[in-house]
């Protein structure tokens, strides 16, 4: 299965493609960021990001697109831009009839590190280890996109669209992911 992870952002939108299956070795396909200059109008910035997402969808033909679920922040302008980019990614995938999955930051952190409260450095380190990379993926937006793809590939049994597996076959990271998902729903 091939997953395109999208860490939405108006200035830097992380993009990462990973091949894998639950319980199998993961393979990095490509990682990068789509950028837009802050001095452009929002419409032009969104257009630039949308074009890059479209290019990645065309080039990599993912089976699923995993997008970070936008959560409320104190900075309304930041959350608005993030939500707009997330929407663009979802529409681009829907246009191609590619399923979209949304994952919260705590779910992603739990999936790759075992802790829903892991820091950026921990996520980058675990992504590099899981994908057997010689260097940490940078910037953090790129690592987050890869983490989203990994999270989706490793989602526990009972998650939307996930194959059903007995709880005893779940890894510690998958159990932590399930706990973070339940906490996010409360």
Told to judge if 144 belongs to the known catalytic residues of this protein, a careful annotator would answer: no
What CATH topology corresponds to 2-185? Nucleotidyltransferase; domain 5 (3.30.420)
Decide which of 152 and 175 is more confident. Answer: 152
Q: Catalytic residue among 50, 68, 144, 181, which? A: 68
Percent of the chain at pLDDT > 90 equals 71
Told to judge if 7 belongs to the known catalytic residues of this protein, a careful annotator would answer: yes
Cα 166 from Cα 158, distance rounded (Å)? 10
pLDDT digits (tens, 9 = 90+) for 5-58: 999 999 999 999 999 988 788 999 999 999 999 999 999 999 999 999 999 999
Q: Is the pTM of this model over 0.85?
A: no
Q: What is the 3-state secondary structure (H, E, C) of 128-168?
A: HHHCCCCCCCCCHHHHHHHHHHHHHHCCCCCCCCCCCCCHH
- pLDDT for res 178: 62
- Which residue ranges make up each domain of the chain? 2-185
Told to judge if 19 belongs to the known catalytic residues of this protein, a careful annotator would answer: no
pLDDT category at 164 given cuts 50, 70, 90 is: very low
Phi/psi at 18 (5° precision): -130, 135
Q: For 12, left (φ over 0), alpha (ψ -120 to 50), or beta?
A: beta
pLDDT category at 158 given cuts 50, 70, 90 is: very low
Least confident interval from 47-51, 70-74, 174-178: 174-178
Q: Catalytic residue among 19, 50, 107, 141, which? A: 141
Of residues 148, 165, 179, 172, the one with CA closest to residue 31: 148
The helix/strand/coil state of 52 is helix
Count the neighbouring beta carbons within 10 Å of the beta carbon of residue 98. 16
Phi/psi at 27 (5° precision): -135, 125
């Amino acid at each position: 299965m091939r997953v395109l992870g999208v860490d939405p952002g108006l200035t830097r939108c992380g993009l990462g493609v990973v091949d894998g299956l639950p319980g199998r070795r993961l393979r990095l396909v490509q990682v990068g960021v789509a950028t837009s200059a802050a001095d452009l109008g929002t419409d032009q910035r969104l257009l630039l990001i949308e074009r890059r997402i479209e290019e990645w969808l065309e080039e990599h033909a993912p089976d699923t697109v995993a997008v970070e679920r936008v959560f409320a922040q104190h900075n309304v302008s930041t959350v608005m831009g993030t939500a707009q980019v997330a929407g663009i990614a979802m529409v681009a995938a829907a246009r191609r009839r590619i399923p979209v999955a949304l994952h919260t930051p705590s779910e992603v952190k739990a999936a790759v590190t075992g802790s829903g409260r892991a820091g950026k450095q921990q996520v980058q380190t675990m992504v590099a280890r899981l994908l057997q990379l010689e260097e940490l993926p940078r910037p953090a937006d790129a690592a987050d996109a890869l983490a989203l793809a990994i999270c989706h590939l490793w989602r526990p049994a009972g998650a939307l669209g996930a194959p059903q597996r007995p709880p005893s076959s779940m890894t510690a990271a998958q159990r932590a992911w399930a706990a973070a998902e339940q906490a996010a729903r409360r």
